[in-house]
Amino acid sequence: METKVENKLRQDNGEKELIARVAWEHWRAVRQSGSEMSEIIRRGLKGAKESYIIDIRCSKPKAIEKMGMRSSITHLIPWGRDPRICRNLTLKSYHRLEDIGSAVRFHTVFVDVVRAHHWAYEASKILHCDISIKSIKWYEELDGQPIGVLCDWDSTEDYNTGYIGVVRPEIRKTASDKRSSKNSTNRLIGLSTGQSMNKDAVESPDPNSIAPPDGERETSMIKPRHQTGTGPFMAVDLLCVGVPPLHKYRHDLESFFYVYVAVAAAYDPPEKHFRKVPWEQQSLVSIGINKHMFLTNMDTRDEIFEYVHPEFEPLLNEDSFLMVLWEVFRKIARRGDDIRDAETSRARNVRLGIPANEFNMEKTEIEKERDSLMTYSTFMKILGEREDE
């Protein structure tokens, strides 16, 4: 028997299939929820473009007290640094990425969401900041064509309002991580707020650790940049020791790259099933080390694709778009190493009383070069796809 609520939904939305979902979104003290952010993005897009962004028809917060739960249950990492709010959502029904069923259909969906991500940024100056397998859904048109949809906008960075500066905790490595690697790669790795980890791997937030871009407004609230479970798709830059850098557009493109790597390496199209995704269930320290090795060592890269399904085998050719993307991100990672090496030299020079001006200029130039190496236009050109439809 159809309820009044179901009848109202059908009247408002026609015969489109809708589903109910309970979501634990990151708590935001100064701006909209993830569902509201997705609606803002949809309003900023024109015509059919909005169909590539998740369509949430209703979003209602639910008080913890009314659920009979202790408020501490929403703090999903030690000491409550990642507070969540429960929301009841009504949204359009979408398929999971693992249901796509073929390499060709996945590529279609992948290109759709990369375009949608760019459209959202161009229209609203909003970066997603949490690209992963779970944030990509799809639906099918009447002719059987899959359409990719970008979801999970509750970790966004809004570059239009200046809401960028965040307080982030300083990170130290665990004793086991220190023993696991003694080379300079260890300097790369840290922990991002919002990630679930061993308590020993996290220190208390440093109130002076603010990471806004030059000239942008700072804020003192603690805001998670990545949700629990998305470490395998985070850009290497964001796994750095200490205060992470500003989240840039190319960091989201790097996350898209890792999504394709994960699908090529671990997806079984006939079974519609993911085997163990690369870097899954590892600490962020291990993810950072292993991902850096993946980008800088061909043997490590080849190990990731050891059990690739035959549908994805053409991507292992050195001239495939996936290997070309790998080569570009490899260059970006190596230039990042140059910055870290220069920082080590600067620290030594400061102790010797040598001015740091020359280092700052060098760092700025290297960062400009890194940003220029991977843009939306470059990414789409390598994919062999048009930038717009």
Q: Stretch 56-65: mean pLDDT, rounded?
A: 61
Calpha distance 376→361 (Å, rounded): 26
The pLDDT of residue 158 is: 78
Cβ burial of 63 (10 Å; 0-12, 13-18, 19+) is exposed
Q: Which of the four pLDDT bands, split at 50, 70 and 90, describes residue 228? A: very low
Calpha distance 42→49 (Å, rounded): 8
Question: Helix (H, G, I), strand (E, B), or coil: what is residue 228?
Answer: coil
Pairing of strands 84-92, 136-140: unpaired
The pLDDT of residue 375 is: 97
Q: pLDDT at residue 51 above 70?
A: yes
The pLDDT of residue 159 is: 79
User: How would you classify residue 242: left for phi > 0, otherwise alpha for psi between -120 and 50, otherwise beta?
Assistant: left
Q: pLDDT at residue 60 above 70?
A: no
Q: Stretch 301-326: mean pLDDT, rounded?
A: 97
Q: Could you identify the residue written with the tokens 């029904």?
A: 93
Give, as one character, the DSSP assignment of residue 234. S
Q: pLDDT at residue 260 above 50?
A: yes
Q: Which of the four pLDDT bands, split at 50, 70 and 90, describes residue 230? A: confident
Q: Are 251 and 85 in contact (CB under 8 A)?
A: no
The pLDDT of residue 344 is: 75
Q: Which of the four pLDDT bands, split at 50, 70 and 90, describes residue 137? A: very high
Q: Which of the four pLDDT bands, split at 50, 70 and 90, describes residue 262? A: very high
Query: Taking the model in full, what pTM does it have?
Result: 0.75
DSSP code per residue over 77-126: SGGGSSBEEEEEEEEE--EEGGG--SHHHHHHHHHHHHHHHHHHHHHH-E
For 270-299, what is each residue's pLDDT tens digit? 999 999 999 987 788 889 999 999 999 999
Q: CA 29, 34, 40, 41 torsion: positive or negative?
A: positive
For 75-98, what is each residue's pLDDT tens digit? 444 334 455 667 666 668 899 999
Strand partners, 83: 75
Q: Find the farthest-apart pair of alpha carbons in the chain and give their distance in angstroms, rounded.
A: 80
Which residue has better confidence, 142 or 207? Answer: 142
Strand partners, 274: 267
Listed in sequence order, the DSSP H helices in the chain are 4-13, 34-44, 103-124, 175-180, 249-266, 284-296, 298-304, 321-351, 357-373, 376-383
For 163-218, what is each residue's pLDDT tens digit? 443 333 333 333 333 334 444 444 454 433 333 333 333 333 332 333 333 333 33
Calpha distance 110→277 (Å, rounded): 17
Calpha distance 76→82 (Å, rounded): 6
For 99-121, what is each residue's pLDDT tens digit? 999 999 999 999 999 999 999 99
Which residue has better confidence, 366 or 281? Answer: 366
Q: pLDDT at residue 12 above 90?
A: no
Calpha distance 375→318 (Å, rounded): 21
Q: pLDDT at residue 251 above 60?
A: yes
Q: Stretch 32-53: mean pLDDT, rounded?
A: 82
Q: Which are the contacts of 221, defined by CB distance < 8 A and separation ≥ 6?
A: 29, 30, 166, 167
Q: Which are the contacts of 326, defined by CB distance < 8 A and separation ≥ 6?
A: 257, 261, 295, 301
The pLDDT of residue 80 is: 44
Specify the range with the lowest mean pLDDT, choosing from 213-227, 243-257, 258-272. Answer: 213-227
Domain spans of the chain? 1-93, 95-160+229-388
Cβ burial of 195 (10 Å; 0-12, 13-18, 19+) is buried
The pLDDT of residue 185 is: 43
Tell me the CATH number for domain 95-160+229-388.
1.10.510.10
